[in-house]
Chain A
Amino acid sequence: MTARRQLSTASPVISVEDGEEALLDRCLGGDGGAFGQLIDRYQRVLFNVSLRMVGNREDALDITQTVFLKAYEKLGSFDRRHKFFSWVYRIMINETLNHLSKARRTEPLDESFQSGALGPEEECSQNRLRESIQAALLELSPDYRQVIVLRHFGQLSYEEMSEALEVPEKTVKSRLHTARQLLGGIFSRHGIVLA
């Protein structure tokens, strides 16, 4: 069985300069502070990736917490030849897709967005525009949405996306191009001004 690590209290001194390798070693040695530091390092980007995939903060919080828990539990089996964050992203993607397949999200877009009947004031509202863009994103299928989210919100390189999604780089690029094209079509259909 995987050796259990007891989560201890944080080390008295935690260096923000710690490299990832050192943090992982400390985690495997049972240093709770080190895992907390890894959470600090990745929670923002993972939460945002999840948020853009599922579209609401509550589900994104649940998913992100589950991802960190799984990462902690499986840390002993993590292959150190790979990048830690690619591994965590892969857990995140699986969790998110599981969530989406269970939820079979069918939330309709709100009426004003669908009809395009926005008042001039609303059209000028940046918040409104952001909501519309997020809603358009949710219209993409999960496969296309995830490449957009990983590239534009997770800021992953093609190589990192290839590792996280376990598909060749060529597939990543081709999927990303198609996803952008589809998204452009959705924007046009809903009258989102592209400039």
Chain B
Amino acid sequence: MNDNDRELERLMNDQLDGTATPEESERLSRALESREDVRSEYRKLGGVFAALSRIEMEEPPASLKQGVLRAIRANEADAAAKQTWLDSIVSLVRDRAGFRYAYSFATGAALGVLAFALLSGNLATRPGADSRSFTGTMAPLSGAHSYQHIGSRDFTLRDGRVHTETLAGPDGLLVRIVADAPLGSELVLSFDPADWSPVGVRQQSTGNEVMLGMGRVSVRMQRLGQSQYLLYLARRGPAGSPLRIAIHSPDGYVQGEIETGALRSGS
């Protein structure tokens, strides 16, 4: 196909699309009058337009709109419940002495179960690599003291956002991650296993793949909407090295550090 043919093809499309200028229409008319091959191509192209115009618009099901509005209300109720859940945990640990003792007991029991699982080989972990799918609840670190807010940071994606917040305890760190990222995104929180030891992770809405390893925790987004995670890290050394977060999403790649400031200073 030479430049002239390409130009004629453009003219034919524009003419049938209704976007040709009067001059272009005139030029096409002249070509149609003088060339049989152009007439044949134009008829064929016109047939495509005619065929497509025979497919009529269909009415969407009546349930479409109601389904969307119902799902929005359900998501919002879910989000409100999640927020209430987090607030209640933080306030329980912070304000009530009775719960502090209960948490101490529960933490001891949970750590005992974890130690048994590790010793018996039922929970295999490999440094720096995902181990296995892990979802559920474990008690936070020694609950005899309050968790104090350290800092928070937002990571903005083109089509989503990830919010992180760190809370310091005497023996470790509570990391809260609220993710609203496109399907297929992967969040990887990595840390130095010499400084931090993962105790447990809680996923507040099921459906995403959560992997807990010795040096990292990863979440792969497999469901639509906002998800929240609580990660408990035990402090192994006197210093608290920073946590790093990397977000791989269909929109791009974002990374950064999450503050563990109070622990770094040894307080």
Check if A114 is an interface residue, CB within 8 A of chain B. Answer: no
Of B61, B76, B180, B226, the residue contacting A7 (CB under 8 A) is B76
B59 near A176 with CB under 8 A, answer: no
Residues of B within 8 A of A32 (CB): 69, 72
A194 near B47 with CB under 8 A, answer: yes
Of B13, B69, B71, B72, the residue contacting A180 (CB under 8 A) is B13
Of A57, A61, A69, the residue contacting B224 (CB under 8 A) is A69
- Which of A14-22, A35-43, A103-111, A115-123 touches B? A35-43
Check if A81 is an interface residue, CB within 8 A of chain B. Answer: no
* A43–B73 alpha-carbon span in the complex (Å): 19
* A48–B57 alpha-carbon span in the complex (Å): 6
Q: A1-B154, A1-B178, A57-B61 are in contact. Are A194 and B50 (CB under 8 A)?
A: yes
Q: A48-B58, A176-B13, A194-B50 are in contact. Are A65 and B180 (CB under 8 A)?
A: no
Q: A7-B76, A73-B180, A194-B44 are in contact. Are A43 and B60 (CB under 8 A)?
A: yes
Task: State the majority secondary structure of interface residues on A.
Answer: helix
Of A2, A47, A177, the residue contacting B180 (CB under 8 A) is A2
Residues of A within 8 A of B56 (CB): 130
* A72–B225 alpha-carbon span in the complex (Å): 11
* A176–B79 alpha-carbon span in the complex (Å): 43
* A68–B29 alpha-carbon span in the complex (Å): 45
The minimal Cβ–Cβ distance linking B82 to chain A, given in whole angstroms, is 11
Check if B89 is an interface residue, CB within 8 A of chain A. Answer: no
B164-185: CB near A (< 8 Å → 1, else 0) gives 0000000000000010100100
The minimal Cβ–Cβ distance linking B101 to chain A, given in whole angstroms, is 34
Of A1, A51, A65, the residue contacting B163 (CB under 8 A) is A1
Check if B54 is an interface residue, CB within 8 A of chain A. Answer: yes
CB within 8 Å of A: which B200-245 residues: 224-226
Check if B252 is an interface residue, CB within 8 A of chain A. Answer: no
* A183–B154 alpha-carbon span in the complex (Å): 47
Identity of the chain A residue whose Cβ is nearest the Cβ of B57 in the assembled complex: A48
Identity of the chain B residue whose Cβ is nearest the Cβ of A134 in the assembled complex: B55
B64 near A126 with CB under 8 A, answer: no
Check if B264 is an interface residue, CB within 8 A of chain A. Answer: no
The minimal Cβ–Cβ distance linking A164 to chain B, given in whole angstroms, is 15
Sample of 29 A–B contacts (CB below 8 Å): A1-B178, A1-B180, A4-B80, A7-B76, A32-B69, A36-B65, A36-B69, A39-B68, A43-B60, A45-B57, A47-B60, A61-B63, A69-B75, A72-B68, A73-B75, A73-B226, A129-B54, A130-B55, A133-B54, A148-B52, A152-B52, A153-B55, A173-B10, A187-B47, A187-B48, A188-B44, A194-B43, A194-B44, A195-B47
Q: Which residues of B are in contact with A by a Cβ distance under 8 Å?
A: 9-10, 13, 17, 19, 43-61, 63-65, 67-69, 71-73, 75-76, 79-80, 154, 159-161, 163, 178, 180, 183, 224-226, 250
The 10 closest A-B pairs by CB, nearest first: A194-B47, A47-B60, A68-B68, A152-B52, A1-B163, A39-B65, A184-B48, A180-B48, A184-B44, A43-B60
